[in-house]
Amino acid sequence: MAGLLLLPVACDDLLDQQPQGQWTAEDNKGGSFATEIFSMYSKVRGFNVTTGNVALAIHNFRCEDIEKGSTASDGAAWATQFDNFNYSPSMEGISAYWTNNYAIAHIANKVLADIESAETQGLQLTEGDFINKAEALFFRAFVYFNLVRAFGEVPLIDFPITDAAEANVPKSTVDKIYELIDADLREAATLPIPRTWGSQYPGRLTWGAVKSLHAKTYLQRNNFGSVLSLATEVIGSRQYNLSTPFNKVFREEGENCSESVWELQCTSTPELPGSNDIGSQYAAVQGCRGAGDWNFGWGWHCPTQQLADAFETGDPRKDETLLYFYKTGEDPATCPANTPWGEKPVANADVINKYYNKKAYGDPALRAIYTKGCYWINIRMIRYSDVLLMAAEAANEQGATADALDYLEQVRARARAGNDALLPKVTTTDKALLRAAIKHERRVELAMEWDRFYDLVRWGDAPAILGSMGYQAKHQYLPLPQTEIDKSNGVLIQNPNY
């Protein structure tokens, strides 16, 4: 546990915070099961689950708005497999995603079994213990949502493993996986998980995170009645708002702001300026691939020109999503200065991408203190604007047009930042036209975040939009890792047409 403690930071208030899952002894609302819960917070922030090229490739490289980037030779296999839909069951990244998500599920299963055992024995459980139970249920639901979206049918393991052979079970149907997700999130919402932890415990899971994740799982199934019910609960709680300007949401000052529903906490200290123990490589994987002062990282996970062209004329979110740069040997005048710091990053001459992700762009003052890899940047997992857009889509599909227009306008109003000449108010009451407007808004508001590929799949738009990139029906799901099939001795069956 000593290794989980966060050293105090005296030099910068922005970083004087406890990383998610690394709480101090007086924080023991975690109850008797806190150690395992701490490990799940840390593992969810892991490279192969949310913060590294593995997760970014699986969630995002597969859509038209994001590409691998970097140079043609760097990670060429990744570009082939994910940008061009040439998946291979032997791909190490696919195996890492599978293994690391299941590792979290196994910890959650142990915690839940231990709590059940304690209850059976008549032991007195504390409020903190029941909060731990809610957290374990949330994390198990989250990783199974990752797995079912990525692979479709997967083994459903909802019991603690004492021997590896016990985990060798056949795949369960997609419906069965979602039954577990629904049950876990429903139960978590009934437990005493707080609506807010205040500023003392930023990033710790809340009731709003539970409800919002549940809404997202129903959205993936186009179950709009359930989406609307859950999203409007979150909206009606008044726990969240869009008062933080869009141009600050992804800056350090916007971390854990009023629209943060679920945010993974990262930090740096003088002793650990670039550590995955208290921070992550999320920004470094996406940082400008340059030299010297401009060597921010790998230069992967880059916006495409298609995304750049998708923004409406004058939409301020474009400049807050695209990080502009110029290449070595090019005229600096060709590069707009990036707000708010006026920088013009210089990338290597052989990079193939046109932009970098500004949503993973760190303060130069902090880069000078710590590392150009910006390990302290938090990862925004669910924002309130996503909840509003879920509600807008569901309301439109349910025939509640006025409500849909209201939720949509809240997002657009924040985006236009007081300039009424920009982003005209959507007024159509035609269901199909409003659906198209909401689809557009999800694309530009949530660009470079987590769901574009999965949105295209659930809308049925993937064949038309991604077909020229090589997408076929089978590519909705990844192949199961060949290593897992081999270990199963015939129990696991590969996904169709792989």
| Cβ atoms of residues 448 and 59 within 8 Å | no
pLDDT the model gives residue 7: 30
Q: pLDDT of 117-134, one tens digit each? A: 999 998 899 999 999 999
pTM of the model: 0.92
How many contiguous H segments (helices) and E segments (strands) does the chain have?
18, 10
What is the CATH topology of the domain spanning 32-193+471-498?
Answer: 1.25.40
Residue percentage of the chain with pLDDT more than 70 = 94
- Across the range 56-64, mean pLDDT stands at 96
Structural domain boundaries in the chain = 32-193+471-498, 282-298+310-377
Distances, alpha carbon 71 to alpha carbons 77, 288, 356, in Å:
12, 12, 13
Q: Which one is predicted more confidently, 29 or 80?
A: 80
Q: pLDDT of 346-405, one tens digit each? A: 999 999 999 999 999 999 999 999 999 999 999 999 999 999 999 999 999 999 999 999
| β-pair type (326-327, 346-347) | parallel
- Mean confidence (pLDDT) of the chain: 92
DSSP 154: E
Residue in 454, 460, 473 with CA at minimum distance from that of residue 219: 454
Distances, alpha carbon 497 to alpha carbons 81, 354, 431, 472, 482, in Å:
15, 34, 36, 10, 14
Q: pLDDT of 472-497, one tens digit each? A: 999 999 999 999 999 999 999 999 99
- Across the range 155-181, mean pLDDT stands at 95
pLDDT the model gives residue 24: 33
pLDDT the model gives residue 31: 62
Q: What is the band of 29 on the pLDDT scale with cuts at 50, 70, 90?
A: low
Rounded CA-CA distance 43/21 in Å is: 9
- Across the range 279-301, mean pLDDT stands at 96
pLDDT the model gives residue 4: 33
- Across the range 155-173, mean pLDDT stands at 93
